[in-house]
Structure 1
Amino acid sequence: MLIGIAGAVVAAIVVLIVLFKLMWRVAEPNEALIISGSKHRSEGVADGLGFRIVTGRGTLVTPGVQVVRKLSLDLNEADLDVECVTSQGIPVHVKGVVIFKVGDDPVSIANAARRFLDQQKMMGHRVHNVFAGHLRSIVGGLTVEDMIRDRERLTGETRAASGSEMEKLGLIIDSLQIQEILDPTGYIQNLAAPHAAAVQRDARIAAAEADRRATEAEQEAFARKAEATRNSGIQQAGYQAEMETATARAMQAGPLAQAASRQEVVVQETKVAELEAHRKEQQLQADVRKPADARAYETRTKAQADRDARISAAEALARETELKAAAEANRVKIAANAEAEATRARGLASAEATKATGQAEAAAAEAKGLAAAEAARALGLAEAEAIKARASALAENQEAVVAQQLAENWPEIVRAGAEAFGNVEHMVLLNGAEGMGEMFAKALTMGGTGLGLARQLLGAMSPQNDAGEGAEQTAQRVVSQAIPVQDNAKD
């Protein structure tokens, strides 16, 4: 019994659940339930509609008595493709889109349910027709220029004109967009042609101006680059000129130092020559003329050799300096043809080198002149000392000096005396060898050639000796004393 009761209860519960499922309807958020079959008063609607509207909640429906149908509250879209004529009589083709939906209020839902409940797919067509009519009417009062320039006005007027009719249909407009205005006659294109030409002109002008500015910038950049290159070349040439000037000065420093050193050597040699002359003077006082003449000749020969060597060295150095200066000037001249600025720099360097060369040549010439002067002075001092020594010797012992001179030149005197007998074929001597000696002595002392030679040798001596004899008498006496006694006479 309990089981039967429990089964009956369960069955009753199951039946109730099934009946509830059959009777309970729930409206989705994007739909409205239209329940018809009984008189109900809908919220917000004055008169009874004969149907009930349920949105966003559930409700009980009597199966078999009431009918439940759904009205979509989703967004819908209607494309506009309308041919219109403007106030200017120009045909245009307007394309747009309308986004609409059933209103959320009961009145809008009721209006839409009465019109589109079984024809919801026709809503877009109906909306297109409504907007097409109003769009033609509004476009007919506008010009093409107004439509293009103030498209918002076209959209607003169309939306305002269609709003009341859309409200009667229970629809609301979410969006209206005019997407495109086409002109089959080409009026819009012709209307835009002047502006397009102006824009194209401005674009070309802007492009030309930009190209001009770019060209100016490029040329300015090239000019700056060339200027930088020129400045770099000038600086490099200046540095090169300074280096070459320093090199030239360094090259001339050696010859200048050599010349100065040689000058000091010449001065020391001069001092040595003076000391040597003094020593020779003392020796001349002791050894008389011949040793003094030999040393004077040696000194003169050495001085001449040194002078010739120094002159040759100075001339070679001057020639080398001149060739170097000429080569440097030629190289600077060739390099100067490549760049004007470098020419000026190298010209300055060449001028410095020439100046240094001139200073070196002047120093060399000065050194050569000093050397020659010192050599001449030393030679003159030596000769003066020799003359002085000879004069002193003549003053102290004239007879000895005369004897020495005659002894040195005795072969010439004898030869000259013998020439007097050159043309004698036969000679008869009465007193033998003694007669031959007397005859030869007379030939030498009687104004002959031998006596003339003796006069030439003794012409520079003093007119009288200590004994009061003249130079000729002294010579005759010395010759007479110096003639050896010969045993035979020869032809």
Structure 2
Amino acid sequence: MPIVALAIGAVVAVIILIIIFKAIWRVAEPNEALIISGLGARAHNRDTAESLGFKITTGKGTLVLPGFQTCRRLSLDTRVSTLEVTCVTSQGIKVHVRGVVIYKVGDDFTSIANAARRFLDQQKLMDDKTHQLFAGHLRSIVGNLTVEDLLRDRDRLTNQVRTSSADEMGKLGLVVDSLQIQDIEDEVGYIDNLGKPDSAAVAAAARIAEAQRNQEATEAEQRAEQANAGQVRDTEIKKREYQGQVDQAAAEARQQVILKETKNAELEADRREKALEAEVRKPADAKAYERVTLAEAERQAAVATASAKAEATKMAGQAEAEATRVKGLAEAESIKARADALAENQEAVIAQQLAENWPEIVAAGAKVFGNVDNMVVLNGAEGVEDMLAKALTLGGTGLGVARQLLASMNGQNGQPDLAVHNGRPASPEQAIEPGGTA
């Protein structure tokens, strides 16, 4: 137990020591300075060996006795103060000057001590103090310059302002990192009018220069276009020359091909002509000759046949005419003989004619009964024969025929002809008088 108590007591003691150390130990940041004042906080200025009533610590740590000493921090950061000052030039022209001042507390102990004395508890007043300081110096310097001087040489104005304010800024513990005059304006338009001639001259010069540049550019473009046109022309000429050579070579090649094809065609035509001569024309000529020969033979045969037929026809006509003449003479002699016989023995001639035409006479007589609607025959077949005989002998059929035959015979001797039917003597049926009965 005593050991544990001792250990705990040691830990507590260490913790207390740490707490006490943290409470009394202060460390200065790189952008700040520690200003320690109080019991025993005295130091000498390392730059001037001046005895200071406070202690300055930068870039390290230091002990501060709580209750006996006070530690405050002074910023060493860069600060910016805007300048807007109305000034009057030596010409009596009111101008507005705008600029900016970039400043900070100096890094040396003197600057830190001066700034600590003036701004330690009022660091926000640095910008106002700096603005007033630079505004006073700026008005004083601008009052001795003209507007043209302000516009012509701003660096001179800047340097004069920095130089004139350097001592006062050093007393405040401040140093200027940069001063820039940004703009200068006037209320009456003096600066604008002052710049118009130069602006006009500059504008004119700019227009002239632009016109010259445009002219030069145009001329350069024209020269380039001419060069390009010449190059294009030369290229086109070369292309046409080359194309002409190509076309000529192609034409010559085509001509050679055409000549070769023509020669081949002529050879082929000769070959075909010979083949045609051997395969078609000669056989065709032979066949045509054969056809002509055969046609001539056929024609001669036809002429001979026609001549023979004409001769035969002529001979046949002559023979037929002779036969007709002989037949006519025979018929005439027959008719004369009949006429003589009729004159000498008429009954015998009639009987002969009847005997030659008896079948027709009987047929005609039988047809006579076709005109009878009702007929009664007695004595059977004998009655029919008796009736037929009477019809032929008494009824006039046979006599009619006989009369016709006699008339025909007499007609050959200048007497009336027998009845003729269709170029031959009329049949007994045709010779029966109408209205005959059985």
Match of 1:90 among 90, 93, 96: 93
- Is 1:77 paired with 2:80? yes
Partner of 1:3: 4
Letter of the aligned partner of 2:140 in structure 1?
A: S
1:219 Cα deviation after fit: 4.4
Letter of the aligned partner of 1:122 in structure 2?
A: L
**CA RMSD, Structure 1 to Structure 2 (Å):** 3.1
Q: Distance in 2 between matches of 1:178 and 1:25?
A: 42
Inter-CA distance 21–216: structure 2 relative to 1 (3 Å threshold): closer
Partner of 1:24: 25
Verify the 8 A CA contact 2:100 2:181 in the aligned structure 1: yes
1:377-435 deviation per Cα after TM superposition (whole angstroms, max 9, x unaligned): xxxxxxxxxxxxxxxxxxxxxxxxxxxxxxxxxxxxxxxxxxxxxxxxxxxxxxxxxxx
Match of 1:190 among 171, 188, 193: 193
Give the percent of matched residue pairs that are identical in Structure 1 and Structure 2: 57
1:26-61 deviation per Cα after TM superposition (whole angstroms, max 9, x unaligned): 111111111111241234254443221111111111
1:355-377 deviation per Cα after TM superposition (whole angstroms, max 9, x unaligned): xxxxxxxxxxxxxxxxxxxxxxx
Q: Secondary structure at the match of 2:43?
A: coil
Partner of 1:355: none
- Is 1:116 paired with 2:119? yes
Aligned pairs for 1:124-273 within 5 A? 124-220=127-223
Verify the 8 A CA contact 1:38 1:51 in the aligned structure 2: no
Inter-CA distance 220–4: structure 2 relative to 1 (3 Å threshold): closer
Letter of the aligned partner of 2:24 in structure 1?
A: M
Verify the 8 A CA contact 1:27 1:57 in the aligned structure 2: yes
Letter of the aligned partner of 1:4 in structure 2?
A: A
Verify the 8 A CA contact 2:45 2:51 in the aligned structure 1: no
Q: What TM-score does the superposition give when structure 1 sets the normalisation length?
A: 0.46
Letter of the aligned partner of 2:105 in structure 1?
A: V
Inter-CA distance 12–227: structure 2 relative to 1 (3 Å threshold): closer
Q: Distance in 2 between matches of 1:168 and 1:205?
A: 56
Letter of the aligned partner of 2:102 in structure 1?
A: I
1:225 Cα deviation after fit: 6.4
Q: Secondary structure at the match of 1:87?
A: coil
1:140 Cα deviation after fit: 0.7
Partner of 1:35: 36
Q: Secondary structure at the match of 1:162?
A: helix
Aligned pairs for 1:74-473 within 5 A? 74-220=77-223
1:4 Cα deviation after fit: 3.0
Letter of the aligned partner of 2:19 in structure 1?
A: V
Q: Distance in 2 between matches of 1:153 and 1:46?
A: 37
Q: What TM-score does the superposition give when structure 2 sets the normalisation length?
A: 0.51
Q: Distance in 2 between matches of 1:12 and 1:219?
A: 98
Aligned length, in residue pairs: 246
Letter of the aligned partner of 1:196 in structure 2?
A: S
Q: Distance in 2 between matches of 1:120 and 1:167?
A: 16
Verify the 8 A CA contact 1:36 1:68 in the aligned structure 2: yes
Partner of 1:12: 13
Letter of the aligned partner of 1:156 in structure 2?
A: N
- Is 1:64 paired with 2:86? no
Q: Secondary structure at the match of 1:120?
A: coil
Partner of 1:405: none
Inter-CA distance 35–207: structure 2 relative to 1 (3 Å threshold): same
1:189 Cα deviation after fit: 1.3
Q: Distance in 2 between matches of 1:147 and 1:203?
A: 25
Inter-CA distance 226–78: structure 2 relative to 1 (3 Å threshold): closer
Verify the 8 A CA contact 2:102 2:177 in the aligned structure 1: yes
Partner of 1:427: none
Inter-CA distance 179–3: structure 2 relative to 1 (3 Å threshold): same
1:221 Cα deviation after fit: 5.1
Inter-CA distance 221–116: structure 2 relative to 1 (3 Å threshold): closer
Q: Secondary structure at the match of 1:84?
A: strand
1:68 Cα deviation after fit: 0.9
Q: Distance in 2 between matches of 1:19 and 1:229?
A: 96
Q: Distance in 2 between matches of 1:213 and 1:13?
A: 89
Partner of 2:278: none
Q: Runs of 5+ in structure 1 lacking a partner?
A: 251-491
Q: Distance in 1 between matches of 2:70 and 2:233?
A: 102
Greater Rg by CA: 2
Q: Which segment drifts farther, 130-139 or 9-18?
A: 9-18
Q: Which segment drifts farther, 15-24 or 37-46?
A: 37-46
